[in-house]
Amino acid sequence: MDRSKVVAILTGVISLLLAIGYLLLVQILDFRGDMQPAPLSTLGPLLAPWLT
């Protein structure tokens, strides 16, 4: 096989693995349920310098 063909096939396989991994990650994160925002009491001290 030609070297460029091997590189193209390897690149395609890596791309498919990344795509499948991304879809699995999104499914796992989505399965956890609704995301709740952080309580403002915990963010207050962190954001205070920029809010004043």
Sign of CA pseudo-dihedral 38, 40, 41, 42: positive
pTM: 0.59
State the pLDDT at residue 1: 80
Q: Give 30's pLDDT tier (boundaries 50, 70, 90).
A: confident
Residue 10 is encoded by which pair of tokens? 């390897």
Instruction: Work out the average pLDDT over 6-32.
Output: 95
Query: From CA 44, how far away is CA 38, in angstroms rounded?
Result: 11
